[in-house]
Amino acid sequence: MPRTKVPAKSDMFQILDPEGNVLDKKLMPKLTDDDIRKMYGYMVLARKWDEIAWNLQREGRLLTFAPLTGQEASQVGSAYAMEKDDWLFPMYRSNAAMILRGMPMDLLFQYWSGDERGLKIPDDVNMFTIAIPVGTQIPHAAGFAWGMKIQKKKVGVVVYFGDAATSKGDFHEGLNFAGVFKAPLVAICENNQYAISVPRSRQTASETIAQKAAAYGFEGVQVDGNDVFAVYKVTKDALDKARNGNGPTLIECFTYRLGAHTTSDDPTKYRPVEEVEYWKKRDPIDRLRKFMVKKGIWSDSDEQKLLANVEVRVNDAVKKAEAVEAPKPEDMFNYVYEKATEQLRQQMSELK
Amino acid sequence: MKLNMVQAINLALKQEMEKDSSIILLGEDIGKNGGVFRVTEGLWQQFGDERVIDTPLAELGIVGTSIGLAISGMKPVAEIQFDGFTPPALDQIISHVGRIRNRSRGRFHLQMVIRFPSGGGIRALEHHSEIMDTYLCHIAGIKVVVPATPNDAKGLLISAIRDKDPVIFMEPKKVYRAIKEEVPEEEYTIPIGEAKVREGDDVTVIAWGAMVKTVNEAREKIGDKYSVETINLRSLKPLDTNAVVKSVKKTGRAVIVQEGPRTLGFAAELIALINEKAFLSLEAPIKRVTGFDVPTPLPKLENYYLPSVDKVVNAIEDVMRF
């Protein structure tokens, strides 16, 4: 794989072109047809989640949430590369990766409808809670990865964040610690080109985000974030490297947020239609489907079946989430400490 | 054995680390150098680089990675070198440390301690004499502990390390080497949330951290003139409300001595508590002796700022004569 110490734009790693052609067969990762169909399934599922969630939000059934449409390959490609024991530290736009790694969709709906119980991640899912303040999860992931190293556990840790997070001190301090302590961290920047309205060029004067890794003393890779195979391969290599004690990697997934920042945002105010059209031609789902059709492992009827199936699954999750009883008011006191303090017990009694 | 507070904290760390290999120390200059106040002296030599860890100079990073370390199964005891350098870490403390258990509905909790030398009185530079208790006590989900004596420090730190919730441990640096007292060699715990009361009948004087020493000196100065009951809070969050209320109900008079700035200081919370629970027992308005609402002055003016023995004596006289 072409990697340089200071990756420049021209080094962006790709396997699939936008028409679904493999650029270099030697680069293609080992994936069965079944793997590929599964990855595609997760991508389509994530997009359906966005579509249904968007409508629910408009009906007042969900709070503000951040859609990921356009970034499916970045998340599915990377999360699919994780092994069972690896850990995921998500951001607030990581639904595709979270679902793939076992987060029940109904819990996600519950959380985004304003119920903390939705973030009670099941015990057998190796995933930390969602961080809303931008980039603040990066030091957590670095510390967790460092802890794995101290405990001599062969576990890789993946943390997701966006391009704007790289402007924050948390990014610097988290990656700096990871580099100094050679933590098994794979830091994935989904560079979707915008914060809310502020473009990537206003976050950093660096040519790439990947090149920032050089300053932390480890490898940085810029990858076509709409190319699921390229993202998979780069992440898998980085995780293998991490588990083998060879330290962290920064991966910049060069992608685009096709939709709004959140349900409260109107992107037509700050970006030209032509730009969105350009990126729609590079849609990661279309790209993978073209590849599968050319390879003869995907048909129209497969597509129809999948679309129907994801719609049912998402709607079932919504039904399940909405059938849950409202949380009890006492719940706001019950998880602040292991044992509620005298003051909290007194305040709780004021609920009555 | 007779120990000062630095030695008592050092002993608590050493004994806990000997028993539990998941405890690690991290901070700036805490390794070979033993910490700028020598609190961790000898621990790097005993436990090695993997457990007594000099980190990059980055307070947010120290606390942020401690969160991840705690989730991974380690028990980090993080040191922030000075009170005045905690603000960069406050982002992580406010946004995450106090919220992880709640946010995850109990799936995750943070067994971690953040310790730092606290407060003035050692003729230090700007940012080396700050009192952070007001900021910290407003944060849900953390505990805030302030020992006043070597004995307190050892028993409270062991409790803090064993606590399943994150504990901020503020060490009054003026007291670090100012008091030597008998400290049991074996391990012992002092429950977090339990104040220490020295009995008296006429007036209740409440203090914490370095101010306990000031109050004890005022008590000596007053001698037999009044019978002073003193409360060393030891923990601000959770607060031993019963000890405060019971005492004021008995004496009917209260003076609160607080090192930090006045407005919204912890003394204000104590006055509210007394109003809610013991108002009808009061014989005089409650008096507070505090720092001023100014940036902590540099050493040439510091003594005008810090509550002094004389100011405490005067406040006691005032409430007694009311």
Q: Using one digit for the tens of pLDDT, what is the confidence trace for B53-105?
A: 999 999 999 999 999 999 999 999 999 999 999 999 999 999 999 999 999 99
Per-residue pLDDT band at B316 (split at 50, 70, 90): very high
As a whole number of angstroms, the distance between CA B261 and CA B136 comes to: 14
Same domain, B301 and B238: yes
CB contact under 8 A, A151 and B74: yes
Domain annotation covers residue B61: yes
Q: What is the pairing mode between strands B181-182 and B167-172? A: unpaired
Are the Cβ atoms of A177 and B105 closer than 8 angstroms?
Answer: no
CB–CB of B165/A338 below 8 Å? Answer: yes
What is the reported pLDDT for A8?
Answer: 56
Smallest CA–CA distance, residue A29 to chain B, in Å, is 31
**In chain B, what residues touch A338 (CB-CB under 8 Å)?**
101, 109, 163-165
Interface contact A232, partner B, CB < 8 A: no
Q: Are B145 and B59 in a shared domain? A: yes
CATH code of B250's domain: 3.40.50.920
Q: Give the pLDDT confidence score for residue A3 in this predicted structure.
A: 45
User: Taking 90 as the threshold, does the pLDDT of residue A9 lie above it?
Assistant: no
On whether residue B190 sits in a domain, the answer given is no
- Helix H or strand E encompassing B46: helix B43-47
**Res. B130 pLDDT band, cuts 50 70 90:** very high
Q: Write down the mean pLDDT value for chain B.
A: 98
Give Cα separations from B278 to B112, B307, B318 (angstroms): 36, 25, 20
Give the separation between CA A165 and CA A188, rounded to whole angstroms. Answer: 11
Domain end residue (candidates: B150, B182, B214): B182
Contact of B257 with B230, CB cutoff 8 Å: no
Length of chain B: 322
Tell me the ipTM for this assembly: 0.97
CATH classification of the domain holding B10: 3.40.50.970
User: CA-to-CA distance for B221 and B158, rounded, in angstroms?
Assistant: 34
Mean pLDDT over residues B293-304, rounded? Answer: 97
pLDDT for res A10: 64
CB A133 to CB B91 under 8 A? yes
The strand ranges marked E within chain B are 2-3, 23-27, 52-54, 75-79, 113-118, 143-145, 167-172, 181-182, 196-198, 203-207, 228-232, 235-237, 254-258, 287-290
Shared-domain flag, residues B29 and B167: yes
Taken in order of first residue, the domains within chain A and their CATH numbers are 9-349 (3.40.50.970)
> Is residue A1 over pLDDT 80?
no
Does residue B160 share a domain with residue B49?
Answer: yes
| CA gap B166, B114 in Å, rounded | 8
Distances (CA, A) of B208 to B158, B195, B224: 19, 9, 23
Q: How many domains does chain B have?
A: 2
Asked whether residue B288 falls in the same domain as residue B204, the answer is yes
Q: Which residues contact B182 (CB under 8 A, 6 or more apart)?
A: B1, B2, B151
pLDDT value at position A342? 93
Q: Which pLDDT score is estimated for A245?
A: 97
DSSP letter at A187 equals E
Scanning chain A, the segments in alpha helix (DSSP H) are 33-58, 72-80, 95-100, 105-112, 137-150, 169-180, 212-216, 228-243, 273-280, 284-295, 300-323, 331-334, 342-349
Average pLDDT, chain A: 95
- Domain assignment present for residue B111? The answer is yes
- Alpha helices per DSSP H over B121-254: 133-137, 150-162, 211-222, 241-251
**B188 located within any domain:** no
* Tokens (6 digits) for A59: 């009906």
A250 neighbors A187 (Cβ within 8 angstroms): yes
Tell me the Cα Rg of chain A.
Answer: 20
Q: What is the pLDDT of residue A161?
A: 98
Under an 8 A CB cutoff, do A177 and B96 touch?
no
**A262-276, B206-220, B307-321: which has the minimum mean pLDDT?**
A262-276
Answer whether residue B191 is part of any domain.
no
Partners of residue B193 in chain A, C-beta under 8 Å: 341-342
Facing B68 at nearest CB: one of A120, A147, A180? A147
> Is B143 inside a domain boundary?
yes
Q: Is B138 a catalytic residue?
A: no
Burial class (CB in 10 A: 0-12, 13-18, 19+), A205: exposed
CB A332 within 8 A of CB A70: no
The first and second tokens of residue A272, run together, are 């030209």
CB B86 within 8 A of CB A164: no
B280 occurs within a structural domain: yes
Q: Answer yes or no: is B189 within a domain.
A: no
Which residues of B, range 284-313, sit inside 8 Å of A by Cβ?
A: none
With beta carbons less than 8 A apart as the criterion, state whether A183 and B83 touch: no
Alpha helix positions (H), B94-226: 100-103, 133-137, 150-162, 211-222
Domain check: are B162 and B212 in the same one?
no
What secondary structure letter does DSSP report for B144?
E
Contact A120 B107 (CB under 8 A): yes
Q: Are the beta carbons of B63 and B78 closer than 8 angstroms?
A: yes
Per-residue tokens: A174: 């988290």
Range of the domain at B161: 2-182
Whole-angstrom CA distances from A67 to A88, A105, A120, A255, A308 are: 19, 14, 21, 14, 21
DSSP string, A291-307: HHHHHT---HHHHHHHH
Is there a single domain that holds both residue B78 and residue B160?
A: yes
Token representation of residue A239: 């995780």
Averaged pLDDT for residues A305-325: 98
Subunit contact A341:B238, Cβ cutoff 8 A: yes
Mutate to test the interface with A, among B102, B110, B236, B239 (most CBs of A within 10 A): B102
**Domain end among B182, B209, B242:** B182
Verify that B226 and B157 share a domain, yes or no.
Answer: no
* Interface membership of A147 toward B (CB under 8 Å): yes
% of chain A residues with pLDDT over 90: 97
- Is the domain of B44 the same as that of B72? yes
DSSP assignment of A192-240? -SBSSSSBGGGT--SS-STTHHHHHTSEEEEEETT-HHHHHHHHHHHHH
Judgement on whether residues B225 and B85 belong to the same structural domain of the protein: no
Question: What pLDDT, on the 0 to 100 scale, is given for residue A7?
Answer: 55
Distance CA B160, CA B142 (A): 11
Those of residues 55-114 in B touching chain A at CB distance below 8 A are 55-56, 58, 60-61, 63-74, 88, 91-92, 95-96, 100-109
Helix A33-58 × helix A228-243 angle, to 10°: 110
Of B153, B182, B211, the residue that ends a domain is: B182
Instruction: Identify from B51, B52, B71, B72 which residue to disrupt to test chain A contact, counting A C-beta atoms within 10 A and taking the largest count.
Output: B72
Judged by CB atoms closer than 8 Å, whether chains meet at B105 and A136 is answered as no
Residues of A in contact with B74 (CB under 8 A): 147, 150-151
Q: Are A292 and A37 in contact (CB under 8 A)?
A: yes
Average confidence (pLDDT) over B31-44? 97
Closest CB to A116: pick one of B70, B91, B103.
Answer: B103
Instruction: Say yes or no to pLDDT of A309 above 90.
Output: yes
pLDDT (0 to 100) of residue B61: 98
**Residue A352: what pLDDT?**
85
**Residues B174 and B201 occupy one common structural domain:** no
Cα A147 from Cα B75, distance rounded (Å): 10
Residues 6+ apart with CB under 8 A from A301: none
Would you call B196 helix, strand, or coil by DSSP? strand
Structure tokens at A271: 């970006």
User: What predicted TM-score, i.e. pTM, was given to this entire model?
Assistant: 0.97
pLDDT exceeds cutoff 90 at A236:
yes
Q: In this complex, is the C-beta atom of A32 within 8 Å of any C-beta atom belonging to chain B?
A: no
Residue A4: band (very low, low, confident or very high) from pLDDT cuts 50, 70, 90: very low
Question: How close B47 comes to chain A (CA, Å)?
Answer: 13
Q: Cβ contacts (< 8 Å) between B70 and chain A: which residues? A: 143
- Confidence band of A107 (pLDDT split at 50, 70, 90): very high
The tokens describing B168, both together, are: 């901020």
Kindly give the pairing relationship between strand B254-258 and strand B287-290: parallel
Catalytic entry in B96, B109, B128, B138: B128
* Same domain membership, residue B141 and residue B44: yes
Name, in order, each residue with C-beta under 8 angstroms of B309's C-beta and a sequence gap of 6 or more.
Answer: B214, B217, B218, B221
Q: Which of A120, A177, A332, A343 to mutate to test the interface with B (most CBs of B within 10 A)?
A: A177
**Torsion angle in degrees (nearest 10) through CA of B149, B153, B159, B162:** 180
Which of A115, A128, A137 has the most B C-beta neighbours within 10 Å, making it the best mutation to test the interface with B?
Answer: A128
Task: Judge whether A350 is closer than 8 Å to chain B, CB to CB.
Answer: no
